[in-house]
Amino acid sequence: MKSAVRHCFLLLPLAAFLLPAQTPNKQDQGPLHGTVNVILANGHTLVAATDSRLTDAAGQHHPGTKLYKINDHTIATMAGLYEDSDSTKALAALIPQMMLEFSYHDLSSGRIPFYDTAFALFSEIKFKLDRHLHAMIADDPHFQAGNPNLTLELTIAGYDFDNSIKIAEITLAPGIKNGQIEYISRSRQLGSYTPPCAFTAGFDRLPEPYSNGRALSDNGPVMFTVKSTMFCEIAGLRDIPEKRLASPASYPDDRALQGYVRAQSEGRELTESELRALAVDLVDKTAADESRSGRNWVGGEVEVAVLSDGRMVEEPKPLQPTAEGSALSGNAIQFGSPVTCGSTRPPLGPDGFYFATQGPVGISEVKALSLSNCYQGLDGFLFLNSTFVDSHLSYLGKSPLLFPGTNVVTNSTLELGTDVDVHDPAVHNLICNFHWKSVSQGTKELKDECSKEGAQ
């Protein structure tokens, strides 16, 4: 596999998170709201259509990206991670940047088999979701890792070297594997009205060529090879599209759907324009049903991609690069012996003794570090189960603050950057939940912050 994929797994105690003990009911089987993804394909043409609505906790709607161009012959869609909470909204915001970064290195590696591209994407997204999951758990000991809306349905579709259309899917959700908390893949649940077109493609479970013996899980990913008969892949809110595709004759006024009926009766493939019209129609009908119900979880402009005869003929909107998501890159390091500095040079960081590869926004996991008489910055690091004695720590606000209570601070000082908001809850926790010798911001010593309203 040419695409470089990093694998990192963090050991955390099971008590650090909560997973529900009960067996989920049908409505808890996956990301049941927030999006609808429709992929339709026949022997030579593939169309993907998604809605573009994100809804925040206040019920306000915002545009979001759920359809991505990977390269000139491959697209990807996502469903899930659109729950009205800060944690899952953060994940939803990070996915586009993950996709953009993957497309950059996928293009730079040259064209590779579809299987390799699919597996590289699934592995990289899992790696970054794991890192974000660990950060959320470290930041909030009561974080509900069993929230079904942390589930991601990820699909990649495009052409292989022989111009056959391949579609690969994986469903990732937090779980426990070998005593570790991580995203694992699970079987994607069938909908209530699964139509015949969902079974027209050849099916294959992708092997998992990990040199370290770790697999995404025992349940996936899976890949379909599209034949001449139309194949349909629906993710997210599936009921409306699948019900219509399962019984198209029941909707005589739906012009796009009746085009599908005519093509079936004539024994021919749908044309490119017919496939596109049907995919958009199924998204529109889902949005209309959501509007009638008053939930409005699906809506906004329909995003579309069309691939025909080996190439992309209609691209989804291009993604704009942001700093979000890059923080999920970074590295992992675990210490087995104490570190004593005796100088102003930090042990960790771009100019550090032990770690000089960290990017400006990459967050690196550091476990079981024991520092004595050191200067060390907190920006760009997630410290876990670490000890800081007779040291000077600084936080400048250049990255999210991740310093959970599993760390121990003794006889050490804290310096905050002048732009750091001391009233931010995470900063208050840093100031007040540890035994600092002194805390300063610029030339000002902060003596009374923990007695002020809002301190935690």
Superfamily in which the 14-19+27-314 domain is placed by CATH: Aminohydrolase, N-terminal nucleophile (Ntn) domain (3.60.20.10)
* pTM > 0.75: yes or no: no
pLDDT at 147 over 80: no
Residue with tokens 């379909």: 224
pLDDT of 252 reads 96
Residues 433-455: pLDDT tens digits? 999 999 999 899 998 778 654 44
Hey, what long-range contacts does 223-226 have (CB within 8 A, 24 or more apart)?
223/115, 223/118, 223/166, 223/167, 223/168, 223/169, 224/166, 224/167, 224/168, 224/169, 225/164, 225/165, 225/166, 225/201, 226/41, 226/42, 226/43, 226/46, 226/164, 226/165, 226/166, 226/167, 226/200, 226/201
pLDDT of 249 reads 92
Residues 368-413: pLDDT tens digits? 889 999 999 998 888 888 999 999 999 998 877 888 888 999 999 9
Instruction: List CB contacts of 302: < 8 A, sequence separation 6 or more.
Output: 49, 50, 51, 52, 280, 283, 284
* Nearest Cα to Cα of residue 323 among 132, 98, 102, 122: 98
pLDDT of 54 reads 75
Average pLDDT of the chain to the nearest whole number: 79
pLDDT of 242 reads 96
